[in-house]
Amino acid sequence: DNPELKRVVAKVKAKLGRRIDVLGMDACLMAMAEVAYQVRGAVAVQVGSEELEPGDGWPYAAILAKLAARPSMTARELGSVIVDAYLASYRASDVVTQSALDLARIVDLRPAVDGLPRALAEGCADPATLLAIVRARRSTQHYDTKDYVDLAHLCERLEAAGAGEAIGDACGIVRGAIEAAVIASGSKGGAVANSRGIAIYFPEGSVSPLYAKLDFAKQGGWDRFLDTYRKALVG
């Protein structure tokens, strides 16, 4: 799980005597704000997918050939290489996403996100604003696990829904932080066309009790908004 992952990469960092340059997540649904924030202390760049990954996974031969040809490339450059090679290895009709994240900037994203749950929680008290939030959430890019949504697209949908000035201002701050944190991202397939590189947990039903154990929840206000939102929906 995520707390265990944090402990593992911390031990690797201790043995290396420095941060891990690139943590490659050749797995499904890992390009999330919560996952990236969990490993921020031990990793420079994280690469992963917002959506499920096909069984073929990463094209390691293509990635390692580029690294072998230029071993002096930076972690950020390697992150971009992985994203490009991964997307190039799939057909236009495949449904795939991939993104490289600068975890130094993920540290800035977490406090940037804090203003959004405060504005959203206040908006839940107003029926018209709550309806706008619900409509925005339901039209936001989601993934195989429907509780996971693209954070930047959520902000775009909230702004388009006219959820209010406070929410709109908070969304602008979040989108700026996402742009700074995403080194490279891309997608193929219409089903994931609104992917921007970082997903976030946003269930419309009950919140997993495990969520509170994550650093992102402990140090921010997103989990409290999720509780407020659920209670507002059930009346």
Is pLDDT at 220 greater than 80 in this prediction?
A: yes
Give the pLDDT score at 100.
98
Q: Is the pLDDT of residue 82 over 90?
A: yes
Looking at residue 160, its pLDDT comes to 94
- Packing angle between helix 60-69 and helix 75-88, nearest 10 degrees? 140
Task: Considering only residues 59 and 221, tell me which one the structure prediction assigns the higher pLDDT.
Answer: 59
CB atoms within 10 A of CB 228: 18
Q: Which pLDDT score, from 0 to 100, does residue 163 have?
A: 83
Q: Residue 162's pLDDT is what?
A: 86
DSSP-assigned letters across all residues of the chain: -HHHHHHHHHHHHHHHTS-EEEEE--SSS--BHHHHHHTTTTEEEEEE-SSPPPTT---HHHHHHHHHH-TT--HHHHHHHHHHHHHHTS-TTS-EEEEEEEHHHHHHHHHHHHHHHHHHHHHTTSHHHHHHHHHHHHTS-B-SSTTEEEHHHHHHHHHHTT--HHHHHHHHHHHHHHHHHEEEEEEESGGGTT--S-EEE--SSPPPTTGGGSHHHHSSSHHHHHHHHHHHHH-
The per-residue pLDDT for 202 is 97
Q: What whole-number percentage of the chain has pLDDT above 70?
A: 100
What is the C-alpha to C-alpha distance for residues 186 and 84, in angstroms, rounded to an integer?
A: 8
Task: Please give the average per-residue pLDDT across 183-196, as a whole number.
Answer: 98
Q: What is the pLDDT of residue 92?
A: 94
Confidence of residue 128 (pLDDT cuts 50, 70, 90): very high
Across the range 43-62, mean pLDDT stands at 97
Mean pLDDT for the chain?
96
> Does this model's pTM top 0.85?
yes
Query: What's residue 234's pLDDT?
Result: 85
Question: 205 pLDDT band (50/70/90 cuts)?
Answer: confident
Whether residue 235 has pLDDT greater than 80: no
pLDDT digits (tens, 9 = 90+) for 158-172: 999 988 899 999 999
Provide mean pLDDT across the span 226-230.
95
Q: What is the pLDDT at residue 105?
A: 95
CA distance 178 to 234: 31
